[in-house]
Structure 1
Amino acid sequence: MAAFEVPGRIEGGLRVVPHPAVMLVLLVGTGRAGVDDGAGRRLRRSLVAGPGFGSGGAVRAWGEDVTCLQVRLSPVAARAVLGASPADLAGGMVALDDLWGRDAARIGAQLAETPTWEGRFALAEALVARRVRAARAAVDPEVAWAWERIAGSRGLVRVEQVAADVGWSRRRLWSRFQAQLGLPPKRAATLVRFDHAVHRLAAGDGTARVAADGGYFDQSHLHRDVMAFAGVTPATVAGEPFLTIDDVAWPASGRLHTGPAAPRRN
């Protein structure tokens, strides 16, 4: 979990860099905020976005005096929390009230009435836990294991090996994985690998070293992947403010708070 306070206006919009998680954004307070999906759709409400949201580099977040809380959910857990499969998001975004109805507005009001970020984190954590306990639907254990294997390897494991390890055919793993998590396993591995690579670039590591350590054939291969996912070159993506939310702040003029239960990155 992370919370953002951005005084003033986000000039030009902030590029949303794809991430291998389902993103739940809860708006707090009366500031103006929204997300443009690059295809003519704009949401000004709390929203949910699927894994890889922002691919191509055209998605922008914008607003003025923005206060929001972001929860990143593993695709494996997202179905239980949201009451909908990540596959229903198809890599795009939906308004939270389309999924939760009046509960979305009620939760937003509770967050606004809570005076501290510690209290808001606790409220969000309790919300997630409550929805998980009440959920009936779950992904296949083989799919969950496959996701953890891909994420744990930083996207470097071969899909054929994952299928063999769970005792499924490649076709069966591909079908179940995409139906339940919203993207095929090879795409998931590519996205996880990209995410690790661009965070290393943002941390200041050189392109050649990132390409070699990240399983890319060469720097040109890394360049193509970064362009496909982020719409910019590796040199440019290294300075994207959206990538700093895990460890530093977003954006530089704003303030970030990380939740006490935030998982450690792989």
Structure 2
Amino acid sequence: MAQQNRLYVWDDRFLYLTGGIVSGLTQRHTLTLLVSLGDQGFELGDAQGQRQRFTAALVGNQTPRSLDAGLEPLLSLNFDPQSYEYHCLAAMLGRRPVRSVILMPDRVDHEAVRAAGEGRLEPAGLFRLTTALPRALSDYRPIRMPMDMRVSHIAQKIKKELPLTSTLEQLGAEVGLSAHRLWHLFSDKLGISIKSYTLWARMRRAVELIAQGVPLSMVAHDVGFSDAAHLTRTLKQFFGLTPSFLARGMEVRML
């Protein structure tokens, strides 16, 4: 597989393929499926410095973890709370912050994985890969998940109207709810608070703009940060990557 770092970003998920990565503690608001594409696997560390080696693992949202894949190629598939896969994988994970998982080899399209890593898989194939990989897990089970359209509307509004200027009261009024009721309904349906979801949306938008070559000071202003330094610190906390690496060290495709 080519060693170019590649990041594919959709509205409710992103796929990161790298020839090897070492990062300090990060804490994402996605649920992450990590898969080693080499022979040695990768190590995850927790906030107390305890480390464990995996070949594939689920990492829960808002779980602080360091990552050391060395020079081994790695696939990182991250699902936003708006995605169906997020909730199926969360059910598998239960209350555990991290779980070792097994990918059934006969259910994985290895050629599609190679093509994605080499940047030659078309958008439809890329999306199919993101839906197929969770189903290749040995314990994966589809779930029934009732969705509330009011929550979906607010989640989309947060993503599309950054920096968000509406108050919680104004957001609630837009869908006929009190601020208190919206706060609890949002967390109940998506498994993440509005505050955390908004921060995650800002990070996604920042990655998109940085990849387009927008100056960092302008990106910070666009997504509602006080300055570029604050944005840089937050990006490193979420992704373990600096803005300069996002701009020059990887290929980013918004899909």
**Fold agreement, TM-score > 0.5:** yes
Kept in 2, the 8 Å contact 1:151–1:192? The answer is yes
For the residues of structure 2 that align with 1:135 and 1:112, how far apart are their CA atoms?
21
**TM-score, structure 1 as length reference:** 0.63
How many correspondences in the alignment?
225
TM-superposed CA distance for 1:194, in Å, is 3.5
Give the Å deviation of 1:237: 2.8
Tell whether 2:110 aligns with 1:81: no
Give the TM-score normalised by structure 2: 0.66
2:98: which partner in 1? 94
Aligned to 2:192: 183
Q: Which has the higher contact order (CA 8 A, sep 6+)?
A: 1
**Secondary structure, counterpart of 1:142 in structure 2:** helix
Which sections of structure 1, spanning at least 5 residues, go unmatched?
A: 98-103, 249-262
What code does the residue aligned with 1:126 have? Answer: A
For the 8 Å contact 1:155–1:188, the answer to whether it is kept is: no
| Residue range with higher mean Cα deviation, 40-49 or 132-141 | 132-141
Q: Where do residues 1-266 of structure 1 align in structure 2 (5 Å cutoff)?
A: 2=15, 4=17, 6=19, 10=21, 13-15=22-24, 20-45=29-54, 46-51=56-61, 59-77=65-83, 78-84=85-91, 93-95=97-99, 97=100, 104-107=101-104, 109-110=105-106, 114-115=110-111, 117=113, 125-128=131-134, 134-158=142-166, 159-197=168-206, 199-201=208-210, 204-216=213-225, 218-219=226-227, 223-224=229-230, 226-227=232-233, 230=236, 237-240=242-245, 247=252, 264=255
Q: Percent identity?
A: 20
SS across alignment from 2:73: strand
Report if aligned partners of 2:210, 2:247 keep a CA contact under 8 Å in 1.
Answer: no
Q: Aligned partners of 2:153, 2:92: CA distance in 1, in Å?
A: 17
Compare 43-52 and 117-126 and name the one that shifted more. Answer: 117-126
Maintained 8 Å contact 2:79/2:86: no
Structure with bigger helix share is 1
User: Unaligned 5+ residue runs, structure 2?
Assistant: 1-13, 117-125
Q: Does structure 2 retain, via aligned residues, the 8 Å contact 1:17–1:243? A: no
Q: State the distance in 1 between where 2:92 and 2:134 align.
A: 15
Q: CA distance change for structure 1 residues 47 and 244 in 2, over 3 Å: closer, same or farther?
A: farther
